[in-house]
Structure 1
Amino acid sequence: MKRLYLLISIICLTGSYCLARQPDSVAFSVSKVLGDNMVVQRDKPFTVWGQAPTGHKIEVTVSWSRKSFAATSNSQGVWEVKIPAASANTKAQIIVVKDIVNTAVIRLNNILIGDVWICSGQSNMEMPIDSISPFPGFPGVTDYKAEIAAANYPALRLFKIPYGRSDAPEDNLKHNALWNKCTPDNAGKFSALAYFFARKVHIEINVPIGLVVSALGATSGEEWTARKVIDSDDALKSFYKHDKVSKLYNGMIYPLKKLAVKGFLWDQGEGNRNDPPGMYTRLNSAMIKDWRAIFNQGQLPFYFVQMTPYAAKFFFTNPWGDDPKASDYARFREDQMLVRTHTPNTGMAVNMDIDEIVHIHWQNKKPTGERLALLALNQTYGHKNIQAVGPQYAGHKVNGDKVIIEYVAGTSNGLNAGGKPLAQHFYVAGADSVFRQAAATIRDNIVELAIPEGTPMPVLAVRYAFTNFPVTNLQNSAGLPAEPFRTDKWISN
């Protein structure tokens, strides 16, 4: 018995020693997020971080500063160094990281200083420019060959986060990846939405743009949201119970938290379109708040894509039949819009004019990416002369047999239908609460509706494009589509 006790004691002591000594066996490294060709966020302190055996002194030098910066790896083998903020720079820079104890050196070459945007969501954010992708049958974006041939923008850099779910928040990525320059040789693999966004911003402000794409198809918003956020809200906790909750956040967002960034882009929603009314607004708003908290860089801008018109009958089954007034998707778009209302420093790119209702993965990504860029240019970069949103409903009034639709000042200048007959997507409900299609006519910067024959007065509600797949053409002079709206809160209609 004494021998057995002694053996167990030795094993326990050895195990404790190994656990205590574990950080000493950690190899000297920098975070997998950092690498050659990356973009360092301008005008903010920049963190260089990684691992090394406990107690090792780490020295970091950067080519844009005469100073050196040092840190010592902690008991967990983690070190980090803060580099003071620097201005944008298109000249290639170098970061040198040294482990003073074992004289190991890591060099990061061809670094640019500019703006870094994290681009996340599901398949429509992930989808590349070319036709060779993980999405069977996707033919590439519109005119993809010409787009790739012209994609010579070496100041644009892309870093695609490798797929990685995790049960707990990770401090580092599970797999290695590379930062890539945007050239015709590799642009085809860039996220199309992120590329079109970055290209427009770069051309406008002439600053390097880094794109960190952390996206995965067929995923839902709760997978990108921290478990603590879900658990702290009774409504979210009771609804989102499946075993994938938070795992993408843990493996593909949390490891980025030390990275200085300009903001976030988000295209996700298909995975949550059957959530109860209001649930997605609650979830996405909470997710945004938490992302901002872990990055600890203030109210970082968050720009997202509203779902395009989509007829589900062409993809699997059509649960709505052929009713042109069915509004399941419209209600989800409304929940997306309400994220903007409830959460400061956000913006929504509207895509109701994308005429690809049979494609949940629509090809014409260029307008969407550029609309995200317009939001950033106007709201984040301060280019207030750039129109960033389409006509937004402000109110309506009844004038005899007409309903006059008014828009938020400045959003409906040059109201037009793109040189075509105005697509008729306005509906009016009278005292019987039945919606009837109303003939619409553009009058300067307002829309005039003829109250449909047989509508019992008074007019109780008006809707615009509040159906599943209306392809619209009502737009302002900047070509930005009018936002869908409804004035009622009825559940059954």
Structure 2
Amino acid sequence: MRSKGLFKKTFVTVVYGLALMAAEAKITLPSFFTDNMVLQQQTTVKLYGTSSPLKQVSVCTGWDGKKYETRSDEKGEWSLNVQTPKAGGPYELTFSDGTKLVLKNILIGEVWFCSGQSNMEMPLDGWGKIMNYQQEIANADFPSIRLLQVRHAVDFVPQTDAGIDFGWEECTPSSIPGFSATAYFFARKLWEELKIPIGLVHSSWGGTPAEPWVSYEGLKKVNNYRTYAEKMSAMSDGKKNTNEIFQQEYRKWMDNLSPLDKGMKDGKAVWATTDYNDNQWKSMNVPGYWETQGLEGFDGLVWFRKEIRIPSAYQGKTLELSLSRIDDDNVIYFNGTEIGSTTGVDKERRYAVPGELVKSGSNLIAIRVLDTGGEGGFAGVPESLDIRYGKKRIVALAGEWKYNVGASGQKLQPFYASKPQITPLTPGALYNAMVHPFINFPIKGFIWYQGEGNEGRAYEYTDLFQALINDWRQKWNNQTLPFYFVQLAAFREASLIDVNAKWPYVREAQSAALALSHTGIAITTDIGDEKDIHPKNKQEVGRRLALLALRDTYNKQTTDASAPVYDTYRIEGNTIRIRFKDLGNGFRKEASLKGFAIAGTDHQFYPAEAHFDGDEIIVHSAQVSLPAAVRYGWADSPICNLFSTSGLPISSFRTDRW
């Protein structure tokens, strides 16, 4: 199954080069402590890692020349705190346990954690191709903006480290194309105004609702998730090893499928053997999804085989086989011997091929792929499928593979419901793998773009979203961390009012989070796309988020960061008067206001006329003589024109609670 916005660029799972250096140096660091990183200015930063047990460890900070010392414990774990100065750099951090490890080109500045679903994940290039993307990429030369891309991952238990793509990188035309456009434009505006280093930790996943991003402790405070969260929290506290439970149950489940699979006989993978005759099998191009190559709408088990040739120089040597990602699960065989298996579309497939299996000349790869719904097959780009010896690519695996159906989804259907799963939709799963590793890494604040994944549960989203904000602040041990978020943009057919629309209720739930301190909302109903859930104008989204931060976090004097907000209403005869708060410089006065609807006690809404009376608005309709309620912008893609003088849209609102 593939979530919208899931694929943005080919991931690498080889350990970042710094970690390889660290292994040689004995000291190891979390994957996000690398060259080029940004540390939050003027704060206490916890540095930690592992070394040999009971080893003296020192850290020298290049900005002040101070030396900090500690000793690793019996497990080899160590940590110490250092103080960061005002924004500046570059500096070096030198670690030593007798052998030095040096991190270079470190900047001190402002670090922001950027998260959400596909509209946060949407890259400048790739599947995103934002507005004017080619020119934006060419101009993206900001070495003081640093980028950290967190790899997709899920887990039952909170993790202490995360998968990272490439380590911290300077923002350049070569590093920015696959990065979050919203986060980049947010940082660019901050840099233009503040002229200090900006670090972006980007951790998002397309198609995800909010609940996977909340910890079990946070979910306990939301009614619909309390029982589940209490159970999972008990497991993750060590009462049970949830990962072991999952693996045991999954293996048992797969064993039950074997009798239904034509490629298996008496528990043996007969279609994986080198002497099996596959001349009658059809061919398919890999990578690619099988729905577009002859298996439209197919769910179930499909086997793939490919004969490759290994140069004689590599006979008997251990190789690395890479397949990028597979949708959903797979088992892989090399010359008839199983060398690994992976569950879940989110995971990178890299397998060690033992030297004793590697022959000179002809060798056979067989893959058993299971898809339980949605698209099935191979993701990634051709360059991500290969066999390597060290860093040397010796065999390209993209191209024509033979395939045959092992078992149809209809035959497997009775087993699907019992399949043990952890997915990007599992409550707590993304927090555990993609957020928790960073809670000891000081940041300035959060930006968030999500909500589409909860469109059918807006009633729940009010509590869930606020639980997420409070949860993250608690985990970072700072209840005043700024949290700026994007309200859902316009999408679907434009209309004045739609009583069946779902997104206005989500927007309302998002706006309710403004009751929490140090929050801000970027309204984007004017820059959406009724035909595309991923609007291309991410420049303005990032700018509006940055305006909030500049005003409320960095105390820049501006009235342009937000628009007036609905406050109260009063029925006056056959009209309703609407009052607003946080007026700033007021409204852009349009001669004809659009987007208002009015209803009587029968709850039937009609398009309404509206006009300004100072900074208040009078709403009425000839069809409603005894009005009871007004709604504004109440559609998925509303036709409305109420703006501030600076051109920011006013959020949709309603006076009723029907």
- What is the TM-score with the length of structure 2 in the denominator? 0.64
Counterparts of 1:406 and 1:323 in 2: how far apart (Å)? 21
| Counterparts of residues 131-170 of structure 1 (less than 5 Å) | 132-133=126-127, 138=128, 140-170=129-159
CA RMSD, 1 decimal: 2.5
Counterparts of 2:181 and 2:135 in 1: how far apart (Å)? 13
For residue 79 of structure 2, what is the amino acid of its counterpart? E
Match of 2:652 in 1: 484
**Residue 452, structure 1, aligned to residue 621, structure 2:** yes
Flag the 1:64–1:408 CA change in 2: closer, same or farther, 3 A: same
For residue 623 of structure 2, what is the amino acid of its counterpart? G
**1:238 to partner: Cα distance:** 5.6
Match of 1:15 in 2: none
Match of 1:120 in 2: 115
**1:184 to partner: Cα distance:** 2.1
Deviations 1:282-334 (A, max 9, x none): 112112212111212342111111111111x79xxxxxx99834332111111
SS of 1:188's equivalent in the other structure is coil
SS of 2:541's equivalent in the other structure is helix
Counterparts of 2:456 and 2:439 in 1: how far apart (Å)? 30
Match of 1:441 in 2: 611
Residues matched between the structures, number: 443
Higher strand residue share: 2
Counterpart pick for 1:173 among 162, 187, 191: 162
* Preserved CA contact (<8 Å) 2:60 2:67: yes
Counterparts of 1:409 and 1:289 in 2: how far apart (Å)? 24
Match of 1:97 in 2: 95
**Residue 111, structure 1, aligned to residue 106, structure 2:** yes
* Preserved CA contact (<8 Å) 1:46 1:82: yes
Match of 1:465 in 2: 633
Counterparts of 1:231 and 1:442 in 2: how far apart (Å)? 46
Match of 1:72 in 2: 71
**1:387 to partner: Cα distance:** 2.5
Counterparts of 2:217 and 2:149 in 1: how far apart (Å)? 26
Match of 2:87 in 1: 88
SS of 1:388's equivalent in the other structure is coil
SS of 2:577's equivalent in the other structure is strand
* Preserved CA contact (<8 Å) 1:198 1:373: yes
Counterpart pick for 2:537 among 358, 364, 371: 364
* Preserved CA contact (<8 Å) 1:125 1:267: yes
**1:200 to partner: Cα distance:** 0.7
Flag the 1:444–1:204 CA change in 2: closer, same or farther, 3 A: farther
Counterparts of 2:497 and 2:617 in 1: how far apart (Å)? 25
**1:365 to partner: Cα distance:** 0.9
* Preserved CA contact (<8 Å) 1:414 1:444: no
| Counterparts of residues 46-445 of structure 1 (less than 5 Å) | 46-89=45-88, 91-99=89-97, 103-130=98-125, 132-133=126-127, 138=128, 140-175=129-164, 177-237=166-226, 243=422, 244-275=426-457, 277-311=458-492, 324-341=498-515, 343-399=516-572, 401-411=574-584, 413-417=586-590, 422=592, 424-445=594-615
* Preserved CA contact (<8 Å) 1:405 1:446: yes
SS of 1:292's equivalent in the other structure is helix
For residue 175 of structure 2, what is the amino acid of its counterpart? N
**1:75 to partner: Cα distance:** 3.1
List gaps (5 residues or longer) in structure 1.
1-23, 315-320
**1:401 to partner: Cα distance:** 4.7
Counterparts of 1:330 and 1:270 in 2: how far apart (Å)? 11
* Preserved CA contact (<8 Å) 1:306 1:350: yes
For residue 252 of structure 1, what is the amino acid of its counterpart? M
**1:350 to partner: Cα distance:** 0.7
Deviations 1:8-46 (A, max 9, x none): xxxxxxxxxxxxxxxx99952111111111111001112
Moved more, 198-207 or 145-154: 145-154
Deviations 1:259-304 (A, max 9, x none): 11000111111111112x4311211211221211121234211111
* Preserved CA contact (<8 Å) 2:70 2:80: yes
For residue 432 of structure 1, what is the amino acid of its counterpart? D
* Larger CA Rg, structure 1 vs 2: 2
Flag the 1:85–1:116 CA change in 2: closer, same or farther, 3 A: same
Flag the 1:297–1:98 CA change in 2: closer, same or farther, 3 A: farther
Query: Larger relative CO (CA 8 A, sep 6+): 1 or 2?
Result: 2
Counterparts of 2:602 and 2:168 in 1: how far apart (Å)? 60
| Counterparts of residues 21-36 of structure 1 (less than 5 Å) | 27-36=26-35
Moved more, 186-195 or 119-128: 186-195
Flag the 1:67–1:236 CA change in 2: closer, same or farther, 3 A: same
**1:402 to partner: Cα distance:** 4.1
SS of 1:324's equivalent in the other structure is coil
Match of 1:21 in 2: none
Counterparts of 1:322 and 1:385 in 2: how far apart (Å)? 32
Deviations 1:89-112 (A, max 9, x none): 1x311111111xxx2221111111
Counterparts of 1:284 and 1:92 in 2: how far apart (Å)? 38
Counterparts of 2:24 and 2:190 in 1: how far apart (Å)? 44
Counterparts of 2:520 and 2:168 in 1: how far apart (Å)? 27
Flag the 1:152–1:445 CA change in 2: closer, same or farther, 3 A: farther
**1:348 to partner: Cα distance:** 1.1
Deviations 1:35-79 (A, max 9, x none): 111111001112221111221111111111121011222233321
**1:170 to partner: Cα distance:** 0.8
**1:471 to partner: Cα distance:** 4.2
* Preserved CA contact (<8 Å) 1:26 1:53: no
Counterparts of 1:232 and 1:394 in 2: how far apart (Å)? 28
Residue identity over aligned pairs, in percent, reads 33
Flag the 1:151–1:57 CA change in 2: closer, same or farther, 3 A: same
Counterparts of 1:279 and 1:198 in 2: how far apart (Å)? 32
Match of 2:405 in 1: none
Flag the 1:224–1:397 CA change in 2: closer, same or farther, 3 A: same
Counterparts of 1:376 and 1:302 in 2: how far apart (Å)? 9
Counterparts of 1:426 and 1:211 in 2: how far apart (Å)? 39
